[in-house]
Amino acid sequence: MWEMPTATRIIVLNTTKVGDRSLVVQALSRDLGRRSFIVSAGGRMGGALWQPLSVLDCEVLENPKSDLWRLHGVSAVYPLAGMRGDVGRSAVCMFMAEVLYRAVREGAEPGLYDWCERSILTLDALSGQYANYHLRWLLELCSAMGFTPSLEDLAPFAEEHLQDMAVLLGPYEGALLLPLTGKARGEIAGALLDYLSAHLEYRLNIRSLAVLGELF
Residue 28's SS3 state is: strand
How high is the pLDDT of residue 31? 84
**pTM score above 0.85:** yes
How high is the pLDDT of residue 160? 95
Q: Which residues contact 66 (CB under 8 A, 6 or more apart)?
A: none
CA gap 123, 100 in Å, rounded: 15
pLDDT digits (tens, 9 = 90+) for 96-116: 999 999 999 887 777 899 999
Confidence at 191, pLDDT banded by 50, 70, 90: very high
Confidence at 32, pLDDT banded by 50, 70, 90: confident
Confidence at 168, pLDDT banded by 50, 70, 90: very high
Which bin fits 48, alpha (ψ -120 to 50), beta or left (φ > 0)? alpha
In this predicted structure, the answer to whether residue 1 has a pLDDT above a threshold of 50 is no
In this predicted structure, the answer to whether residue 71 has a pLDDT above a threshold of 60 is yes
Answer whether CATH 3.40.50.2300 is correct for domain 6-76: no
How many CA atoms are closer than 13 Å to the CA of 46, on its beta-carbon side?
12
pLDDT digits (tens, 9 = 90+) for 20-30: 888 999 999 98
69-76/55-61 β-pairing: antiparallel
CATH 2.40.50.140 residue spans of the chain: 6-76
Q: What percent helix, strand, coil does the chain show, rounded to 5?
A: 50, 20, 30
